[in-house]
Amino acid sequence: MSSTRRNFLSGGLRSAGLLALGGLACDGDRPHAGFLGLMENVNERFQRALFDPGRLAPELSEGEESAPEDFPAYKISRELPVAPAGWALAVRGLVARPLTLSVAELRRLPATRTRVRHHCVEGWSAVASWDGVRLAELARLAGVDRRARYVEFRSFDSGYWSSWDLESALHPQTILAYGMNGAPLQREHGAPLRLYSAVKLGYKMVKYLTEVSFLPVRTGGYWEDQGYEWFAGV
Amino acid sequence: MPRSKQPWLIRTTHWANLVFLVVMAGSGLRILAAYPFLGERGRDYGWYLLQGMRPPDALTIGGWLAGARHWHFAFAWLFVANALVYGVYLFASGEWRRRLFSPRRDARNAWGTLLHDLRLRREAPPPVGLYNGMQRLTYTGVLAAAPLLVLSGLAMYKPVQLSLLTALLGGYDAARAIHLLVLAGLALFTVVHVVQVVLHPRTLAGMTVGRDLGPEERRAPRETRLPEEAP
Ligand code: HEM
């Protein structure tokens, strides 16, 4: 076989292989893989570059709050999750002083209220106000190590969990909320304690919290492991 | 040698745009399907007549919400990059002069073409150079709408980090409506556009291989010498 023909053939095979790869490269059922996964990384860099730790989401007025029935509440358990007896939040990982905090203890910490627009990955938006403690305040109390780059949140909702970049977690509008719209947090919205933030999509805000861990490495999450974007900033 | 009717950069970016726009529209409709309402929760927009109607699956790409979002945010970059190549070329090459709408040259011609297309006038005004006035008007409109598509998309993607942009467009839910309306406009344009191409198949050769020696061009051999370009 002449070398030009061999070149031609191998070139053709290579192109066919690349074409086949190209077909695999965009698979909506495996969004973290191939070209879509590559672009998720590009988009994470873009979002991190845009993220400004000091930029606050506009605080809204009470009149802009959605009616209670217009603020949906999602869970993954079949029944409304029930807090285990003697519930307390654990703060651990790369911290100088691991903490265990009851609701009463959390309520004694400096309280903050934030009323911002909530953005769901599905495309809807709604508004509520949230009372709680800044996560940055807990990080300060626990003495977070400089090696910590990520924060993982665990819940008692059938193993629902998520993990975040440290910068978004320490944003002043990222709080652990025990109140909503001026009342104690209702069970369907994640009582006794939930994560709430102005800078992430709804599925990143873990409800029914049990544990906050400061980690050196990124982990995943309930929806993230199934294919939803990990960074998910807004 | 006369200038090519459709330079290769315009041909390439035009067909790439078709591919990217199909991907963007298909994945975008799959994202819309996850919440097929416009307006914030509890305050649906009254004017939107398709509240609650999911786009048909056959028009969507990505399979499910997470897949479609990954498609959408991956190809958005390619769509924008392609549009930038086209836009920079359009102005750097001077091609904009014979392609973009100029009221003085095109307004009367566009009106005449519209009347002809609506069967209200027998005679079609001859094209002025490359396009007739109505073509220039619609193409320029499409090119003006495209940035709005991208800006409203960014406003929804980053309503907090780009909160000024989002506010400028009237808020997150308004940006979502604008995004869908521009898409509807482009879809409408594309339908009319393809009908016109079918009625004037010669233009397809122009947009594909760059040359076009149809009677229209023979009638106006000096098409590159437009009034603005005359020395
Ligand atoms: C099957 C789909 C399409 C076909 C067959 C098609 C075909 C063509 C043809 C033949 C021309 C040249 C017209 C002429 O020389 O008189 C043209 C120009 C143009 N098309 Fe399309 N097109 C399609 C889709 C689209 C889409 C989706 C868009 C954008 C939304 C678009 C935007 C344009 C623009 C802006 C021009 C003018 C380009 C310039 O002069 O720089 N087309 N198209």
Which residue of chain B comes nearest to A56, CA vs CA?
B160
Does residue B136 fall inside a structural domain?
Answer: yes
Q: What pLDDT, on a 0 to 100 scale, did the predictor assign at position B214?
A: 47
CB contact set of B110 (below 8 Å; sequence gap of 6+): B101, B132, B133, B134, B136, B137
pLDDT in tens, A14-36: 666 665 566 558 999 999 999 99
d(CA A189, CA B163): 26
Task: Give the model confidence (pLDDT) of A37-91 as tens digits.
Answer: 999 999 999 999 999 999 999 999 999 999 999 999 999 998 999 999 999 999 9
Residue with CA at minimum distance from ligand 1 atom 10: B204
CA distance B62 to B206: 33
B204-215 per-position pLDDT tens digit? 989 998 875 444
Q: Chain B residues with CB inside 8 Å of A116's CB?
A: 160
Strands A194-197 and A174-180: what pairing?
antiparallel
Q: Tell me which of B193, B203, B213 to substitute to probe ligand 1's pocket, judged by most ligand atoms within 8 Å of the beta carbon.
A: B193
* Chain A CB within 8 Å of residue B61 CB: yes
Which of the pair, B223 or B48, is modelled with greater confidence? B48
Asked if residue B184 has its Cβ within 6 Å of ligand 1, the reply is no
- DSSP SS3 for B41: coil
> What local confidence, expressed as pLDDT, does residue B220 receive?
43
d(CA B100, CA B122): 26
Q: Give A56's contacts (C-beta < 8 A, 6+ positions apart).
A: A172, A173, A198
Atom of ligand 1 nearest to the CA of B18: 27
Can you say whether the dihedral through the CA atoms of B188, B189, B192, B193 is positive or negative? negative
Quote the CA–CA distance of A116 and A173 in Å, as a whole number. Answer: 9
Would you say residue B224 has pLDDT above 60? no
Which pLDDT does position A64 carry in this prediction? 94
Would B217 be classed as within a structural domain?
A: yes
Per-residue pLDDT tens for A159-185? 899 999 999 999 999 999 999 999 999
Q: Is residue B109 part of a domain?
A: yes
Do the strands A183-184 and B39-40 form a parallel or antiparallel pair, or are they unpaired? unpaired
Note whether residue B3 is domain-resident.
Answer: no
Measure B184 CA to nearest chain A CA, in Å: 18
Residue B64 belongs to some domain of the structure: yes
User: Of ligand 1's atoms, which has the minimum distance to the CA of residue B212?
Assistant: 15
The three state secondary structure string of A96-122 is CCCEEECHHHHHHCCCEEEEEEEECCC
| Cβ–Cβ < 8 Å for A139, A150 | no
* Of B216 and B81, the one with more pLDDT: B81
Nearest to B124 by CA among B111, B139, B137, B136: B111
Task: State pLDDT tens for residues A93-119.
Answer: 999 999 999 999 999 999 999 999 999
Q: What is the CB neighbour count within 10 angstroms for residue B130?
A: 22
* pLDDT confidence band for A9 (50 / 70 / 90): low
Q: What is the pTM of this model?
A: 0.88
Write the ipTM. Answer: 0.88
Residue type present at position B219: R
How many structural domains compose chain B?
1
Mean pLDDT of chain B: 90
- Nearest of B188, B191, B178 to residue B149 by alpha carbon: B178
For B213, the domain range is 8-229
Query: Is residue B69 in contact with ligand 1, taking CB distance under 6 Å?
Result: no
pLDDT at B173 over 50: yes
CA A194 to each of CA A79, A100, A104, B216: distance values in angstroms, whole numbers, following the listed order? 17, 15, 15, 69
Question: Is the pLDDT at A2 greater than 90, yes or no?
Answer: no
Domain contains B196: yes
- What are A45's two structure tokens? 């860099």
B90-133 per-position pLDDT tens digit: 999 999 999 999 999 999 999 999 999 899 998 889 989 999 99
- CATH number of the domain residue B29 falls in: 1.20.950.20
Q: What pLDDT is attached to residue B218?
A: 43
Residue A46's pLDDT is what? 97
User: ω into residue A192 within 30 of 0, thus cis?
Assistant: yes
Q: Is B139 part of any domain?
A: yes
In a domain, B88, yes or no: yes
Cβ of B9 closer than 6 Å to ligand 1, yes or no, is no
pLDDT over 90 at B217, yes or no: no
The nearest alpha carbon in chain B to A69 belongs to B42
Domains of chain A listed by start with CATH number: 60-226 (3.90.420.10)
